[in-house]
Amino acid sequence: MEAITRSILLRPGLQKKLSLKSFLVLSLVLIMTLGYIPALPQTAVARTQVATLPPEDKVFIRLAGQNTALVQEERVLTLVAGINKVTFSWQNVHIDPDAIYLDTLADPDDITLLSVARPPDESALVWEIYSRTDTEQPVVVSYLLAGLDNLITYTALADAKEKTLDLDARIILRNFSGEDFANAAFWLAPDNVFKTDLLHLETRQVLFLAQKNLPITKTYDWDEKTMTPNPENHPDAPGIPTGYRIKNSSDAGLGFDLLPGKVRIFQEDDQAGTIFSGEDLMPFVPKGDTAFLQIGSSRDILVSKRRIHSEQTQVRRNEKGKIQVFDKKITDRFILENTTSAPVMLTLTDRIDGQWEPVNMGHPYNLTDHQTLVFDIPLEAKEKKTIDLTYTVVNIFTGTFARYNQAAPGN
């Protein structure tokens, strides 16, 4: 196998510190043939320095997936005037040889990367670097490293009154890459960076988030997509999911992306102890969104849905008198009952298919998309409440053109 030699120039865009853009560029094919080597002074060509890459000064690791990480190492190269050959080797380390990138943090006019070669049957690269003068150059070596995986776990503790919650987050790091890291900066997200040591074959758990007294709202979440509309006729119907809603905002004590992971939820009791409430999976929750942590299901809140009215309006016929298009005015009734001796908050999610217009919706709601309505409905202790939703589904086709309809309620 012949050594692969390609001529490249250092990219001109420089930054004094590492950024997210520096990480993302690693996944590109970083070495491209230019077919041109700049003219060098004859006195420089005769002077060649051979050296191995010096130890890293700083290490930055971005955990990009379950088994892959982006690694950047800051090093200082001592170069002589002329051509310098620098070797980067990785024996028994799971580095992708096609994703190794050398970049300078100083003036790009002082040095030029002439070529890079991979010796046959070796886990190494040899960079040929031309320097105008004797100099020390800060550089960054970036590469993709396999064998680093991670797992996020959360512990949530609600107070006895279920008004606030303490949230801890830990990351479990496992290193099977073949490389040891000392005081490396692990990058989870722009707001989640921590430093730790991690040896090859080591598993380490690190606390990277500890927030106290986060405000929460205990809710019962009824969703027509998963719940039975008439539970009184179905004794085996599932209960309504209940849990805590946490606003991911700086005002609430968060304000940064929450990463996916398992959550174990506890609650303080009246005896100054804690009880296990349940276990849930935290999805990815971006800044500004709301997380829902389910602690169980309950039959304390009863929700029934009835269609009490449906009529055709704005009927349009063809020349033969056959109905072609019509609207439909619909009223759906929700019967809500709180059987507990305490007030509760019910979050009710309903869907209306097709093109529709509200007539009288009975209660304020938010639209998460064109057909999904979310109602936040407070229920007092032992309260029974009825809410009627009246709306019109418009432009319902019949006959041959019915295939163009989105299924409208009641059709």
Nearest to 81 by CA among 112, 53, 117, 122: 112
Per the DSSP assignment, residues forming a β-bridge with 396 are: 326
Specify whether 38 is located in the same domain as 130.
yes
Last residue of a domain, one of 280, 298, 316: 298
The answer to whether the CB of 344 falls within 8 A of the CB of 379 is: yes
pLDDT for position 232: 80
Residue 11: pLDDT above 80?
no
Q: Which amino acid makes up residue 365?
A: Y
Co-location of 188 and 261 in the same domain: yes
Do 14 and 109 fall within a single domain? yes
Give yes or no for residue 329 having a pLDDT over 90: yes
Residue 409 lies in a domain: no
Q: What is the pLDDT of residue 38?
A: 46
What is the per-residue pLDDT across 63-103, written as a single tens digit (0 to 9) for each?
876 788 999 999 999 999 999 999 999 989 999 999 999 99
Q: Which amino acid would we find at residue 407?
A: A
Identify the band that residue 387 occupies on the pLDDT scale cut at 50, 70 and 90: very high
Q: Is there a single domain that holds both residue 91 and residue 43?
A: yes
Kind of pairing, strands 181-189 and 58-63? parallel
**Residue 248 in domain:** yes
- DSSP category for residue 371: T
| Within a domain: 411 | no
All residues at 6 or more sequence positions from 250 whose CB lies less than 8 Å from its CB, including other chains: none
Domain with 212 in it? 148-298
Pair 152, 294 in one domain: yes
212 occurs within a structural domain:
yes
Inside any domain, residue 383: yes
E runs forming strands in 224-300: 240-247, 261-268, 274-282, 290-298
Same domain, 234 and 114: no
User: What pLDDT is recorded for position 396?
Assistant: 85
Same structural domain, 175 and 77: no
Burial call 177-194: b when 16+ CB within 10 Å, e when fewer: bbbebeebbbbbeeebee
pLDDT of residue 107: 77
Give φ, ψ of 8 to 5 degrees: -140, 165
Average pLDDT score over residue span 160-175: 95
Three-state secondary-structure class, residue 131: strand
What value does the mean pLDDT of the chain take? Answer: 84
Q: What is the pLDDT of residue 57?
A: 77
The pTM score is 0.74
Amino acid at 317: R
Residue of higher predicted confidence among 44 and 71: 71
Q: Do 256 and 341 fall into the same domain?
A: no
Q: For residue 339, what pLDDT band results from cuts at 50, 70 and 90? A: very high
- pLDDT of res. 51: 53
Averaged pLDDT, 158-184? 95
Please tell me the predicted confidence (pLDDT) of residue 405: 60
Q: Could you give the number of structural domains in the chain?
A: 3
How is 51-78 classified by DSSP, letter by letter? EEPPPPSEEEEEE-SSSEEEEEEEEEEE
Furthest-apart CA atoms within the chain: distance in Å: 98
Distances (CA, A) of 374 to 19, 173, 274, 350: 39, 39, 33, 7
- Shared-domain flag, residues 121 and 152: no
